[in-house]
Amino acid sequence: MSETGNRLRKLLESPNFDPQSYVKQLSQQSDGDRDLQEHRQKIQNLADETAQNLKKNVYKNYRQFIETAKEISYLESEMYQLSHILTEQKSIMESITQSLLSTDKDETSKEMQAAFPKETEELKQRTLTSLLEKVEGAKNIMDIPGRHLVYNGDLVEFDVDNMSPIQKVHAFLMNDCLLIATWLPNRRGTVKYKYNALYDLESFAVVNVKDNPPMKDMFKILMFPDSRIFQAENSKVKKEWLEILDETKKNKASKEKHKKEEEVPTSPVRAEVSTNPFDMEDEETVESEDGVDLSLEWIQELPEDLDVCIAQRDFEGAVDLLDKLNEYLKDQPATPRVKELRAKVDERVRQLTEVLVFELSPDRSLRGGPKATRRAVSQLIRLGQSTKACELFLKNRAAAVQTAIRQLRIEGATLLYIHKLCNIFFTSLLETAKEFEMDFAGNMGCYSAFVVWSRSAMTMFVDTFSKQVFDSKESLSTAAECVKVAKEHCQQLTEIGLDLTFTLQSLLVKDVKAALQSYKDIIIEATKHRNSEEMWRRMNLMTPEALAKLKEEMRSCGINFQLYTGDDCWVNLSYTVVAFTKQMMSFLEEGLKLYFPELHMVLLESLREIILVAVQHVDYSLRCEQDSEKKSFILQNASFLHDTVLPVVERRFEEAVGKPAKQLQDLRKSTRPVRINPDSTTSLV
């Protein structure tokens, strides 16, 4: 058989194999239907064997497939970061070129202004004035002299969190600010827009948003601590917005820089020596100012070295240079030359801060985990901006946790999903806490911000948890297991001194209370339905196996059931009482898994109401029943509930909670059964 199979395999694997001629030849050589069926079975066996070999190969290389997919994902992230780095380097090179050519541009602009005095600026101002007349609440924007329009156009604003469209806006870019106006649904005359916000060009940064269909042609404006996302009409308009915004910001920064350089005061030069004693003091001051040696080579090259460090993303080197300069100028007088140097360095510090802030923005890749933010955070702290570093770090981690939860697929059983959800969330929270403690070890004031952030992150987790567990109307047993899993994971945070158990309980208490009350109502309705059909007959389980199973169930609940089993498969209790006992004990166990101190009275009252339904039914049956044998049987069921079930419920509740169940004890005392005369109708005292 194996030789035949090998020949058949070689034939099918040969490159010149022709299926049609093979089938034709096979039909001619076969003696009948039996031969064809046998040959068909051989081919089927060969196909099954090939499929098994393919599965084995897949399983054998499965781990390599997963690792390869991860590496591809990491490479994609790194290429995305590399693209951002190249874009930043391009913008830095353009800014350097812009600054080198600024002198020529200034001379050209002066010549143009001399040739056409105020003509161009007046035209721009008139255009801006005519456009702003269409904006409600923007009359005072033209009060600033020299302000004119650079660019304007329609945009659509999107929500930063869920990327849903919010409103249609019209943006006006001026030479020193950006005006956002919203469209008016009910237009009044020439007024089409309403004033929304006005941002100074130095107060925000513009970031390109990578296209992710259907979300495309977008860019983000970052205004600490908020951000806004806008969508352009098409990619061409988006490119124009990004280029013009960048160019306008650079032009404003360049003008302010030249203005500061022109306003730097020069040291007075005396033509003659004075004998005035006050003049002598001035001379000493000048000499002391000249005593600050700024001619050192590293100081002269410091601004350019900072530009190079920022362009090469050598953040540590840039901060080291700043620390070296601060140490050198420590205790030195603030001379005009020192102030000029400080102004140049402060501009580089601002650029460095913007780059570090962008490194921590949620738009960057979040795959590296908390450790990926350590470099930017540590340099921001060294720059004296620990508060900003703390806020950006926590925002970055919040976005990472939210993204991880969104990417979690809802599939299979609810408990399996909750296991994955808790593992992702609490592991991320634990890693974030450890990284925060490492990065902000010397900034104790930031720890309160982390505690507040932890609570907000827990709120986000509970929202997702409740939607999946409580809103989907899962059974109480499933909900109890899910809450138990969440508690166990939350307890792991105590390893680092972070206890969020109370926060988790306070956020879940409303949903858990509703679930307990809902399931209590279901049990009460089911008990009443069984009571309405009660015949007060002994329960027959038909088979020894069923009786053994029932005994095991009762034993697991802590109930001694041996006294209530009769001969063969009979149970000396009614079906209604046995079913009620199983259902109530199940409710007790699930309720104890869901137990919070805030739910103590809720659980006790629910148990009391459930037990009261059964007790009242037994009491009513005893009073109404005339048959002496049935009365005796009913009393036996009442004794089972009072002497066996209720003590077990009280003991189990006290063991789990640590407090006595006073309401249940009072209920048992008030419903104590007595031995009665079969002809009497008195049953309970």
| The residue type at 372 | A
- Which amino acid, residue 101? L
The pLDDT of residue 171 is 92
The per-residue pLDDT for 230 is: 92
Q: Considering the domain 509-671 in this protein, what is its CATH number?
A: 1.10.357
Within the chain, which residues score under 70 in pLDDT?
A: 1-3, 62-63, 70, 73-74, 77, 80, 98-99, 101-126, 187-189, 224-225, 263-292, 363-370, 411, 567, 671-685
Give the pLDDT confidence score for residue 367 in this predicted structure: 60
| Residue-level pLDDT at 291 | 57
pLDDT at res. 136: 82
Q: Degrees (nearest 5) of the Cα angle 217, 218, 224? A: 165
What is d(CA 550, CA 23) in angstroms, rounded to the nearest whole number?
64
Whole-number Å distance between alpha carbons of 319 and 310: 10
| DSSP 8-state assignment for residue 233 | S
CA distances from 555 to 201, 204, 585 (A): 76, 69, 11
Contact assessment for residue 397 and residue 409, using Cβ atoms and an 8 Å cutoff: no
Q: How far from each other are the two terminal CA atoms of the chain, in whole angstroms?
A: 86
- pLDDT at 156 (0 to 100): 92
User: May I ask the CATH architecture of the domain 134-258?
Assistant: Roll (2.30)
Residue found under tokens 């209370």:
513
The reply to whether the predicted model has a pTM over 0.75 is no
| pLDDT number for residue 494 | 84
Which amino acid is residue 336, in one-letter code?
Answer: P
pLDDT of residue 583: 86
Parallel, antiparallel, or unpaired: how do β-strands 191-200 and 177-188 relate? Answer: antiparallel
Q: Are 332 and 292 in contact (CB under 8 A)?
A: yes
pLDDT digits (tens, 9 = 90+) for 146-170: 788 889 999 999 988 778 888 999 9
- Which pLDDT score is estimated for 110? 54
Per-residue pLDDT, 266: 45
Specify the amino acid at residue 322. Answer: L
pLDDT digits (tens, 9 = 90+) for 427-466: 888 888 888 888 888 777 788 888 888 889 989 999 988 8
Q: How many CB atoms lie within 10 A of CB 118?
A: 9
Amino acid at 584: M
Q: What is the model's pLDDT at position 434?
A: 86
Fold that domain 298-473 belongs to in CATH: Methane Monooxygenase Hydroxylase; Chain G, domain 1 (1.20.58)
